[in-house]
Amino acid sequence: MKTINVKINGENYTREINEDMRLLDFIRDELKLYGTKEGCGEGECGACTVIMDGVTVNSCMVMAFQANNKEILTIEGMEDEKGLHPIQQAFLDEGAVQCGFCIPGMVLSAKALLDKNPKPSRKEIKEGISGNLCRCTGYNKIVDSIEKASQYLEGEDQ
């Protein structure tokens, strides 16, 4: 067993983990945060995307021990006391959601993108979510909603 300290969604966790545990399993099985999904187990679909130290990673491709002393944001950390994050609101407003299985990862990719590039072009948005596979939506409404989220966030800043 190995002890790790991880800050997830603003909260510090100190846990004993198995050495062979993936970050994804830590988040789901240990912390019971089931919003992070597993779609392929090999970093290809992005359903397990979380933000670690400011950048997106596939949590199925990170060993849990590697997250020691790191700060992680999962979908459960997107809402705050005011309610939905503007990106989540935009996904709702623009009709970006269908089956929803890709959506937590998609929202986090959108957040990482907008944090780095607050006014991305549609091409840049597509690049930003190119590691998140979706089989239902054909992506276009997701791109629309990230554009919309960019506007919402700009409005918030003013």
Partner 1 sequence: MKKRGFGYGCIFYGTGYGNGFPDISRSIAELDTKGHINIYVGATEVGQGAKTILGQIAAEALDVPVEIVTLIHEDTSITPDAGTAAASRQTYNTGNAVKISAEELKKEIIVVAKGLLNEDHLEISNGVIRSNTSDKTLTLKDIAEASGGGFLRKDGIFQANTTEMDPETGQGNPYWPYTINAYAVEVEVDTTTGIVDIIRAACSQDVGRAINPSLVEGQIDGGFAMGLGYAIFEDINLDKGRIKHNRFTNYLIPTALDMPEIEKIIVEDPESTGPFGAKGIGEPVMIAAAPAILNAIYDAVGVRLTEIPVTPEKLLKALKKREG
Partner 2 sequence: MDIKNVFQAKDVPEAINLLDQYGEAAKVIAGGTDIIIALRENHVKVSVLVDISSIKELKEIKTSDDWVEMGAAVTFTEVMDYFKGHKEYSGLIEAASLVGSPQIRNAATIGGNICNASPAADFVPPLLALDAVLTVEGKEGKREVRLEDFLLDKGRVDLNKGELLTTIKFIRLRKGQTVTFSKLGLRKALAISRLSTAVYLEIDDDEKCAEVRVASGSIGKHGLRERVAEESLKGKNLDKAAIDEASKVLSNEVEKRLAGRSSCEFKKDAVEGIFLKAVEKAMVHNGDGSYCAMGTQYYPRAAGKE
Partner 3 sequence: MKKNLEVVGKSVIRVDGFSKVTGKATYSQDLTMDNMLWGKTLRSTKPHANIKLNLTKAEVIPGVVRILTYKDVPHNHHGVVFKDHEVLSSGRVRSIGTPIAFVVAETEKIAVEAMKAIEVEYQELEAVFDPVEAMKEDAPKVHENGNLLYHYKLRLGDVDAAFKECAVIVENQYKTSMVDHAFLQPEAGIAYLEEDMVVVCAATQYPHFDQLEIAEALEVPTEKVKVLNPAVGGAFGGREDITMQIHLALASKLTGRPVKTVYSREESFVAHSKRHPMIMSYKTGADKNGKLIAMEAKIVGDTGAYASWAINVLRKAGVHATGPYEIPNVKVDSYAVYTNNPFAGAMRGFGATQTPIGHEQQMDMLAEKLNMNPLEIRFLNALKKGSKTATGQILEESFPLKECLEVLEKAFKKDAKGVE
Residues that bind partner 1 (CB under 8 A): 39-40, 42, 44-45, 95-96, 98-100, 122, 125-127, 129-143
Applying CB under 8 A, the span of 33-41, 65-73, 114-122, 147-155 interacting with partner 3 comes to 33-41
Q: Among partner 1, partner 3, partner 2, none, what does residue 55 contact (CB within 5–8 Å per kind)?
A: partner 2
Q: How many residues bind partner 3 (CB under 8 A)?
A: 37
Segment 47-50 long-range contacts (CB within 8 Å, at least 24 positions apart): 47/101, 47/102, 47/104, 47/105, 47/132, 47/133, 48/24, 48/105, 49/104, 49/105, 49/106, 49/108, 49/109, 49/131, 49/132, 50/23, 50/74, 50/108
Closest separation between CB of residue 66 and partner 2, Å?
A: 5
- Give 87: exposed, middle or buried? Use CB within 10 Å, 0-12, 13-18, 19+: buried
Q: 3-42: which residues touch partner 2 (CB under 8 A)?
A: 19-20, 22, 41-42
Query: Rule CB under 8 A: which residues touch partner 3?
Result: 28, 33-42, 45, 47, 74-76, 78-79, 84, 88, 91-93, 95, 97-104, 107, 133-136
